Amino acid sequence: MGTKNYFKILFGFLFTILIMGSVFAASIDDFTNTGFTDTTASFSWTAATGATSVAIQHSINQNNWSDTIVAVDAISGTVENLDQGVLYYFRLNVYGGPNDGMSNVISLTPAPDLTAYNTALAAVTEDDYTIVTWEAYELILAANVVTDQNTQAEVDTATSNITTAQGDLVEIADLTNYTAALAAVTEADYTTVTWEAYELILAANVVTDQNTQAEVDTATSNITTAQGDLVEIANLTNYTAALAAVIEAEYTTDSWTAYMLIVNENVVTDQNTQAEVDTATTNITTAQEELVNFADDLFAAKTTAAELIESNYTTATWTILENTLDMNEETTDEIIAKTEAILDAIDGLVMNEKVFTLFTGWNLISVSKFVDSAEMIGGDYNTIYTFVDGAYLTATLDDLTPLNAIFIKVDSERYVGVMYDEVAIPTLTERSLVEGWNVISVPNSMHEEVINVALAQLIEGNNEGLTTVYAWNNGLATIQNNWTLDKVNAESGYWVHMNEDKIFSLPVNPIVD
């Protein structure tokens, strides 16, 4: 009988190999562990000789053994489906042959299953819980540290202790609603008195995420309730606009003094209620309706003047109106004086009896009555000619006389304003026409029948006398072939061509329209 020998062998995780029992020369005595995992263990040995069956046996109590059959000539094998963290005993049982019998016994413990333990550790994060409860939890963690060197029972106990301690953790409070409530109002939007009262509520309801959720919710409720008592500052937009709507200089002294009494009785700020501000605004705008405005009359006078057309009036009277429009209007007295001056100037305007429109270039104009005065409007002319006895003669506006016409050239549109002599009756009833071209006009005081007779006298047999008539309109000459009386217009100029000298005469006592 051999001696008993005990060995401890370290392979990866701690395990114990116990070589026990009697060693006989014939039995396998080199049964050796070559490795293990969480659920398997591998072994090697010297091949048995003449064996009929070989099995690796394992047991948790060395009384009941389970077989893992291997080949009779095998030199290694593996046992599977072991439980983690459990102490097992292993041996090789050889049946038959000179090595018949049990080998040496090896004990080892597969590493424990740490899955649940690691899951428990990862299940919670310090940032999610209050400082006080996390510190208590860390004490439990420190007391339940295990590794794969512990038994499964130890690991399971540590895991249970940790998960139980997690039940005592208190989550930090959710401050979302609390923070939103604080941000919902701004001091500048509310009256000073109500904001000071609100700040007292805020000071009494300060919480952090270390408070319980119930405490945070209560504080939030108290704050939002207090916000309901805040009074918004008044909107002064309409009030300010009303004050700015009128200017003292535009109104009479008496009416402005009365108005200012109302304004002073209705002074408000944004600390008043909106109803008070609205009432004050209404009182002020109502009082403005009683103001007497100098500027309104001045504006009306200016508007009337702006609607007048310069070319319709004499230069002298129009100049007076323009001068009044240039008067100062800063003070009340100036506004009154200017208004009266404009209205007087409008009343004093003298209309031109006739206004000729001159187009750019040459124009041919004539008059039907004797002229009292004629003047350029809008600018001066470039050149004026008359056409007498077949020759152009330099002329002025004074050469505008009945039965004659003048050529006038301008560089842009201008006007000629004419005032007729209402006293003088035209005595010029005839003029000589020379052979060739002549410029004539006819007065509008004649019936067409009278003009017809006068023109007919220019035509005699054998095409003698008048041969061609040209009308001159807007700078263009238009031939009047087969002319008729309705083509001859008063106050228009006409070119007539004569074959011989003739007298163009009208009745001494013309028929007047």
474 and 359 inside one domain: yes
- Measured between its terminal Cα atoms, the distance across the chain in Å is 174
Task: Look at 26 and 34; give whichever has higher pLDDT.
Answer: 34
Confidence at residue 486, expressed as pLDDT on a 0 to 100 scale = 41
Residue count (the chain): 513
In this structure, the answer to whether residues 402 and 420 fall within a common structural domain is yes
Residue among 507, 400, 411 at smallest CA distance from 454? 507
Q: What is the pLDDT of residue 265?
A: 95
Alpha-carbon distance values, 319 to 29, 292, 295, 314, 324 (Å):
143, 31, 23, 9, 9
Judgement on whether residues 87 and 138 belong to the same structural domain of the protein: no
Q: Are both 122 and 100 inside the same structural domain?
A: no
Lowest mean pLDDT segment, chosen from 91-95, 198-202, 312-316, 486-490:
486-490
User: Which helix (H) or strand (E) segment is 105 a member of?
Assistant: none
Query: To which residue do tokens 């323009």 refer?
Result: 322
111-128 tens-digit pLDDT: 788 899 999 999 999 999
Q: Lowest mean pLDDT: which of 61-65, 307-311, 373-377, 472-476?
A: 472-476
pLDDT of 429: 63
Q: Are residues 411 and 466 in the same domain?
A: yes
Same domain, 413 and 485: yes
The answer on 501 and 360 residing in a single domain is yes
Domain boundary among 273, 288, 303: 288
Indicate the residue among 185, 203, 227 that finishes a domain.
227
The pLDDT of residue 461 is above 80: no
Helix (H, G, I), strand (E, B) or coil at 97: coil
Q: How many domains does the chain have?
A: 6
Same domain membership, residue 439 and residue 417: yes
Show the domain range for 330. Answer: 294-347
DSSP string of 150-219, one letter each residue? S-HHHHHHHHHHHHHHHTT--BPP--HHHHHHHHT--GGGB-HHHHHHHHHHHHTT---TTS-HHHHHHH
Is the domain of 162 the same as that of 186? no
Report yes or no on 510 lying in a domain: no
pLDDT for the residue 488: 53
Taking only the tens place, the pLDDT of each residue in 233-289 is: 999 999 999 999 998 877 878 889 999 999 999 999 999 989 999 999 999 999 999
Min mean pLDDT across 182-186, 212-216, 217-221, 495-499 is at: 495-499
